[in-house]
Amino acid sequence: MILEGLVCTRSIRGEPHVAPMGPVIEDEFKRLVLRPFATSTTCRNLIRERAGVFHVTDDVQLLARAAVGRFERAPAVRPATVVEGYMLEDCCRWYEFEVREVDDRTERVTMDCVVVAHGTVRDFWGLNRGKHAVVEAAILATRLHLLRADTVADELSRLQLLVDKTGGPAEKSAFTWLKNYVAEIYSGANGAGGSATDAGGSEP
Protein backbone atom coordinates (compact mmCIF):
# COMPACT_ATOMS: atom_id res chain seq x y z
CA MET A 1 0.00 0.00 0.00
CA ILE A 2 1.23 3.51 -0.84
CA LEU A 3 0.41 6.17 1.75
CA GLU A 4 0.84 9.87 1.01
CA GLY A 5 2.49 11.90 3.75
CA LEU A 6 5.42 14.13 4.64
CA VAL A 7 9.05 13.15 5.21
CA CYS A 8 11.27 15.31 7.38
CA THR A 9 15.02 14.94 6.87
CA ARG A 10 18.06 16.77 8.23
CA SER A 11 20.09 18.96 5.89
CA ILE A 12 23.86 19.07 5.75
CA ARG A 13 23.63 22.18 7.99
CA GLY A 14 21.51 20.29 10.51
CA GLU A 15 18.27 22.02 9.54
CA PRO A 16 14.89 20.31 8.99
CA HIS A 17 13.68 19.76 5.44
CA VAL A 18 10.04 18.78 4.79
CA ALA A 19 8.80 17.23 1.55
CA PRO A 20 5.82 15.10 0.46
CA MET A 21 6.36 11.44 -0.26
CA GLY A 22 4.27 8.33 -0.74
CA PRO A 23 6.20 5.34 0.61
CA VAL A 24 5.13 1.74 0.20
CA ILE A 25 4.02 0.51 3.63
CA GLU A 26 5.02 -3.06 4.50
CA ASP A 27 4.74 -5.40 7.50
CA GLU A 28 2.03 -3.32 9.21
CA PHE A 29 4.13 -0.15 9.21
CA LYS A 30 7.33 -1.84 10.35
CA ARG A 31 9.03 -1.15 7.01
CA LEU A 32 8.85 1.70 4.48
CA VAL A 33 10.07 1.70 0.90
CA LEU A 34 10.85 5.22 -0.30
CA ARG A 35 11.55 6.16 -3.93
CA PRO A 36 12.79 9.78 -4.02
CA PHE A 37 14.28 11.26 -7.17
CA ALA A 38 18.08 11.09 -7.12
CA THR A 39 18.32 14.85 -7.67
CA SER A 40 16.07 15.76 -4.73
CA THR A 41 17.21 17.26 -1.46
CA THR A 42 15.33 14.55 0.43
CA CYS A 43 17.28 11.85 -1.38
CA ARG A 44 20.63 13.50 -0.70
CA ASN A 45 19.73 14.00 2.97
CA LEU A 46 18.64 10.39 3.41
CA ILE A 47 21.73 8.98 1.72
CA ARG A 48 23.94 11.10 3.97
CA GLU A 49 22.02 10.84 7.26
CA ARG A 50 20.43 7.38 6.76
CA ALA A 51 17.41 8.41 8.83
CA GLY A 52 14.25 10.53 8.75
CA VAL A 53 10.67 10.81 10.00
CA PHE A 54 7.54 10.03 7.99
CA HIS A 55 4.33 11.83 9.01
CA VAL A 56 0.68 11.07 8.39
CA THR A 57 -1.36 14.29 8.32
CA ASP A 58 -4.75 15.60 7.24
CA ASP A 59 -3.46 19.19 6.95
CA VAL A 60 -3.90 19.78 3.21
CA GLN A 61 -2.52 23.32 3.40
CA LEU A 62 0.76 21.93 4.72
CA LEU A 63 0.74 19.19 2.08
CA ALA A 64 0.15 21.75 -0.67
CA ARG A 65 3.00 24.03 0.38
CA ALA A 66 5.38 21.15 1.00
CA ALA A 67 4.68 19.75 -2.47
CA VAL A 68 6.18 22.82 -4.16
CA GLY A 69 8.57 23.79 -1.38
CA ARG A 70 7.00 27.14 -0.51
CA PHE A 71 6.25 27.97 3.12
CA GLU A 72 5.19 31.33 4.52
CA ARG A 73 6.97 30.15 7.64
CA ALA A 74 8.75 26.91 8.37
CA PRO A 75 6.60 24.22 10.02
CA ALA A 76 7.21 23.83 13.74
CA VAL A 77 9.39 20.82 14.58
CA ARG A 78 10.91 19.14 17.61
CA PRO A 79 13.79 16.67 17.95
CA ALA A 80 13.04 13.09 16.98
CA THR A 81 13.04 10.55 19.81
CA VAL A 82 15.47 7.94 18.43
CA VAL A 83 17.04 9.05 15.14
CA GLU A 84 19.11 12.18 14.60
CA GLY A 85 16.53 14.49 13.05
CA TYR A 86 13.21 16.23 13.52
CA MET A 87 9.50 15.54 13.62
CA LEU A 88 6.60 17.86 12.90
CA GLU A 89 4.86 19.16 16.01
CA ASP A 90 1.48 19.17 14.25
CA CYS A 91 0.72 15.85 12.59
CA CYS A 92 -1.52 12.86 13.20
CA ARG A 93 1.06 10.07 13.41
CA TRP A 94 4.84 9.93 13.02
CA TYR A 95 7.24 7.12 12.17
CA GLU A 96 10.98 7.49 12.71
CA PHE A 97 12.94 5.31 10.32
CA GLU A 98 16.46 4.25 9.43
CA VAL A 99 17.59 3.59 5.87
CA ARG A 100 19.02 0.07 5.65
CA GLU A 101 19.47 -0.49 1.89
CA VAL A 102 19.81 1.88 -1.08
CA ASP A 103 19.46 1.03 -4.77
CA ASP A 104 20.57 4.04 -6.84
CA ARG A 105 20.72 2.41 -10.28
CA THR A 106 17.71 4.36 -11.60
CA GLU A 107 16.47 7.97 -11.63
CA ARG A 108 14.31 7.20 -8.61
CA VAL A 109 16.38 5.77 -5.80
CA THR A 110 14.82 2.88 -3.89
CA MET A 111 15.39 2.97 -0.13
CA ASP A 112 14.43 0.09 2.15
CA CYS A 113 13.74 1.55 5.59
CA VAL A 114 12.94 0.14 9.02
CA VAL A 115 10.66 1.95 11.47
CA VAL A 116 12.46 2.35 14.81
CA ALA A 117 9.93 4.47 16.72
CA HIS A 118 6.38 5.75 16.20
CA GLY A 119 3.70 7.74 17.96
CA THR A 120 0.41 9.60 17.71
CA VAL A 121 -0.07 13.36 18.15
CA ARG A 122 -3.79 13.72 17.39
CA ASP A 123 -6.68 11.90 15.76
CA PHE A 124 -6.74 11.58 12.00
CA TRP A 125 -9.94 13.27 10.83
CA GLY A 126 -9.76 11.66 7.42
CA LEU A 127 -9.72 13.03 3.89
CA ASN A 128 -13.02 13.84 2.20
CA ARG A 129 -13.30 14.41 -1.56
CA GLY A 130 -12.30 18.05 -1.15
CA LYS A 131 -9.12 17.15 0.75
CA HIS A 132 -8.31 14.44 -1.79
CA ALA A 133 -8.77 17.01 -4.58
CA VAL A 134 -6.21 19.32 -2.93
CA VAL A 135 -3.75 16.44 -2.63
CA GLU A 136 -4.24 15.61 -6.33
CA ALA A 137 -3.77 19.28 -7.25
CA ALA A 138 -0.57 19.39 -5.19
CA ILE A 139 0.80 16.36 -7.04
CA LEU A 140 -0.21 18.01 -10.31
CA ALA A 141 1.71 21.15 -9.32
CA THR A 142 4.93 19.13 -9.09
CA ARG A 143 4.55 17.89 -12.68
CA LEU A 144 4.11 21.13 -14.59
CA HIS A 145 7.31 20.48 -16.53
CA LEU A 146 5.69 17.35 -17.97
CA LEU A 147 2.21 18.68 -18.77
CA ARG A 148 0.62 21.15 -21.17
CA ALA A 149 -0.95 24.21 -19.59
CA ASP A 150 -4.39 23.40 -21.04
CA THR A 151 -4.22 19.86 -19.64
CA VAL A 152 -3.44 21.22 -16.19
CA ALA A 153 -6.22 23.81 -16.47
CA ASP A 154 -8.77 21.12 -17.36
CA GLU A 155 -7.71 18.93 -14.46
CA LEU A 156 -7.81 21.84 -12.00
CA SER A 157 -11.32 22.72 -13.19
CA ARG A 158 -12.45 19.17 -12.48
CA LEU A 159 -10.86 19.20 -9.02
CA GLN A 160 -12.32 22.64 -8.30
CA LEU A 161 -15.81 21.16 -8.43
CA LEU A 162 -14.94 18.68 -5.70
CA VAL A 163 -13.38 21.35 -3.49
CA ASP A 164 -16.37 23.67 -3.93
CA LYS A 165 -18.83 20.86 -3.19
CA THR A 166 -17.20 19.14 -0.20
CA GLY A 167 -14.29 21.28 0.99
CA GLY A 168 -14.17 23.62 3.96
CA PRO A 169 -12.28 26.91 4.34
CA ALA A 170 -8.89 25.17 4.70
CA GLU A 171 -9.38 23.12 1.53
CA LYS A 172 -10.62 26.09 -0.48
CA SER A 173 -7.72 28.24 0.72
CA ALA A 174 -5.15 25.55 -0.13
CA PHE A 175 -6.67 24.94 -3.57
CA THR A 176 -6.72 28.65 -4.41
CA TRP A 177 -3.08 28.92 -3.33
CA LEU A 178 -2.14 26.02 -5.61
CA LYS A 179 -4.00 27.52 -8.58
CA ASN A 180 -2.15 30.81 -8.08
CA TYR A 181 1.15 28.92 -7.90
CA VAL A 182 0.43 27.08 -11.15
CA ALA A 183 -0.53 30.34 -12.87
CA GLU A 184 2.68 31.97 -11.65
CA ILE A 185 4.86 29.13 -12.92
CA TYR A 186 3.25 29.01 -16.36
CA SER A 187 3.36 32.80 -16.61
CA GLY A 188 7.09 32.68 -15.92
CA ALA A 189 7.55 29.94 -18.50
CA ASN A 190 5.92 32.08 -21.18
CA GLY A 191 7.73 35.27 -20.27
CA ALA A 192 11.09 36.25 -18.92
CA GLY A 193 10.58 35.03 -15.39
CA GLY A 194 11.71 31.42 -15.60
CA SER A 195 10.39 28.10 -16.79
CA ALA A 196 7.80 25.55 -15.83
CA THR A 197 10.62 23.29 -14.71
CA ASP A 198 10.96 25.56 -11.68
CA ALA A 199 8.08 23.48 -10.30
CA GLY A 200 10.51 20.60 -10.23
CA GLY A 201 10.63 17.09 -11.54
CA SER A 202 11.58 16.16 -8.00
CA GLU A 203 10.65 17.72 -4.73
CA PRO A 204 12.94 20.48 -3.35
* DSSP conformation letters of 125-180: ----HHHHHHHHHHHHHTTTTTS-HHHHHHHHHHHHHHHHHH--HHHHHHHHHHHH
The angle formed by the CA atoms of residues 80, 12 and 8, to the nearest 5 degrees, is 35
- Kindly tell me if the per-residue pLDDT of 110 is higher than 70: yes
Question: What is the C-alpha to C-alpha distance for residues 32 and 99, in angstroms, rounded to an integer?
Answer: 9
The 10s digit of each residue's pLDDT in 149-179 is: 999 999 999 999 999 999 999 999 999 999 9
Judge if 5-120 and 129-193 fold alike in CATH terms.
no
Mean pLDDT of the chain: 89
pLDDT of res. 73: 82
Please give the share of the chain, as a percent, with pLDDT higher than 70.
92
The reported pTM is: 0.81
pLDDT tier at 124 (50, 70, 90 boundaries)? confident
Return the closest-CA partner of residue 171 out of 18, 62, 56, 92: 62
- pLDDT of 130-140, one tens digit each? 999 999 999 89
* Strand-pair partners of 118: 95
C-alpha to C-alpha distance for 159 and 175, rounded to whole angstroms:
9
Q: In the chain, count of helices (H) and strands (E)?
A: 5, 9
Residue 127 confidence (pLDDT): 75
Superfamily designation of domain 5-120 = Electron Transport, Fmn-binding Protein; Chain A (2.30.110.10)
User: Tens digits of per-residue pLDDT, 1-17?
Assistant: 899 899 999 999 999 99
Selected from 3.40.50.300, 3.40.190.10, 3.10.250.10, 1.20.58.290, the CATH number assigned to the domain covering 129-193 reads: 1.20.58.290
Q: What local confidence, expressed as pLDDT, does residue 189 receive?
A: 60
Report how far apart, in Å, the C-alpha atoms of 123 and of each of 57, 65, 120, 185, 190 are.
9, 22, 8, 35, 44
User: Where are the domains positioned within the chain?
Assistant: 5-120, 129-193
Find the Cα–Cα–Cα–Cα dihedral 174, 177, 182, 186, rounded to 10°.
Answer: 180
Q: Are 91 and 6 in contact (CB under 8 A)?
A: yes
Is residue 51 predicted with pLDDT exceeding 50? Answer: yes
pLDDT of residue 201: 36
